[in-house]
Copies of this chain bind each other. A is one copy, B any other.
C-alpha cells in the first residue's frame, strides 16, 4: 500500500524560464512546429540557470518541455485538430492531458545571454518552460517511424490552425 502511494505521489516542477511567441491566443495557433516554420520566438531562461546554457549554441534543434498552463482538465477521448474521429488521448498530441506537459522540437537560431532565439515554436506566449534538451538525431530521429491514425494527416499540420476545442 505504501508502495502504491509512493508510486502516485505528486512531483512538483518549477518553471526555469518563459517562452515568448507571437501566439497570444490559443485559437488560431499552429498545431505543430511544422505549422510554425520560420515563426520566431524566444525563450527567456531565468538568470540563475545561465551557467547551464554553455555549449548549447552548437545544436541546431532543441526539445522544449513546457507546461500547457492554460489547458482545461483532461479528457481521455478527444477529437484532434487533424481528424474528425474520436481518438484515445495518448494517441494524440492534444494539450488536455492528465499531466499537461508539452513537447516541441524548435530550431535554435541564437543564444544571446539567457535568451534563446528560436524558430518553429508552436507554443503560446507566456508558456512556462520546464526543461530544454539538445536534439540529437542519433537518439531522436526516426524518419521511418509509422504514424498510426496520423499517417494521412500529419502533413496537413503545416496549414491547419487550432480552433476552440481545447479551450
Contact = CB atoms under 8 A, between A and B. Distances in A.
A97 B13 CA distance: 11
Given A137-B145, A145-B137, A56 B91 contact: yes
Contact of A77 (B18, B52, B56, B93): B52
Nearest to A104: B139
Nearest to A44: B7
A150 interface: yes
B98 A16 contact: yes
A46 to B, nearest CB: 8
Interface string A56-90: 11111101010101000000110000000001111
Contacts of A76: 49, 51-52
Interface string A33-57: 1100000000000100101111111
Interface residues of A, number: 72
Given A13-B11, A90-B133, A143 B146 contact: no
A88 B145 contact: no
A155 interface: yes
A137 B151 CA distance: 10
Contacts of A92: 55, 134
Nearest to A116: B90
A133 to B, nearest CB: 6
Interface in A123-167: 128, 130-151, 154-155, 157
